[in-house]
């Protein structure tokens, strides 16, 4: 094998330099796009600072009393009444089982949690253990916690499992539904 001439070495170096330069140019373009997106998000968050809800939070306690009275009136109007604890808990358990089935999640265990009662609301809760594709688990979780149905996730443990190509999630959750006292 013969050694390279100076012009061949120069051309080879120029080729490596051009590949290096183009690679850095592409990386810089991607970086600048991400910076622009981040700046836009910051600008959007800055404009949200002028929202009326933040103005409400900055107001005096006397001014906030009207806001809280309106919220309490809304809760009194919208919070559902509980027919009986057993029926409400069974209905919640069945709703959770059906919604998990809709997302093709495997339900490993269902159980009742001791109901709670406060002066402001009554609560029934159920504990569910399920397995399934991680993406489906997260979609299901985003659907079940709903202010309109007065459901809230009280406890959540998601353990990712499986391969990178098809990650699975093992989920243990306690979900509660709120009712009028």
From first to last of its 181 residues, the chain has per-residue pLDDT tens of 789 899 999 999 999 999 999 999 999 999 999 999 988 888 877 766 555 555 555 567 777 788 888 888 888 888 888 888 888 899 999 999 999 999 889 888 888 988 888 888 889 999 999 988 888 888 888 888 877 788 888 999 888 776 655 667 788 999 999 888 7
Which residues fall within 8 angstroms of residue 167, CB to CB, at 6 or more apart? Answer: 133, 134, 135, 160, 161
Structure tokens at 167: 């990650």
The architecture in CATH of the region 85-179 reads: 2-Layer Sandwich (3.30)
Distance separating alpha carbons of residues 43 and 56, to the nearest angstrom: 21
Give the residue among 100, 135, 128 at the shortest CA–CA distance from 112: 128
Q: What is the pTM of this model?
A: 0.59
């Amino acid at each position: 094998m013969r050694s390279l001439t100076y012009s061949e070495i120069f051309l080879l170096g120029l080729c490596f330099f051009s590949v290096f330069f183009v690679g850095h140019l592409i990386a810089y373009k991607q970086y600048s796009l991400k910076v622009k997106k981040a700046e836009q998000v910051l600008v959007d968050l800055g404009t949200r600072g002028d929202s009326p809800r933040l103005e409400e939070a900055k107001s005096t306690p006397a001014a906030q009393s009207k806001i809280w009275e309106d919220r309490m009136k809304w809760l009194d109007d919208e919070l559902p009444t509980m027919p009986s604890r057993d029926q409400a808990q069974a209905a919640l358990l069945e709703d959770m089982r059906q919604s998990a089935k809709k997302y093709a999640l495997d339900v490993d265990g269902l159980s009742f949690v001791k109901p709670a009662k406060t002066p402001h609301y009554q609560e029934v809760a159920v504990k569910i253990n399920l397995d399934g594709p991680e993406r489906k688990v997260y979609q299901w979780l985003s659907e079940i916690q709903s202010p309109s149905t007065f459901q809230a996730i009280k406890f959540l443990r998601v353990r990712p499992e499986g391969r990178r190509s098809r990650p699975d999630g093992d989920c243990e959750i306690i979900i509660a539904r709120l009712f009028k006292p």
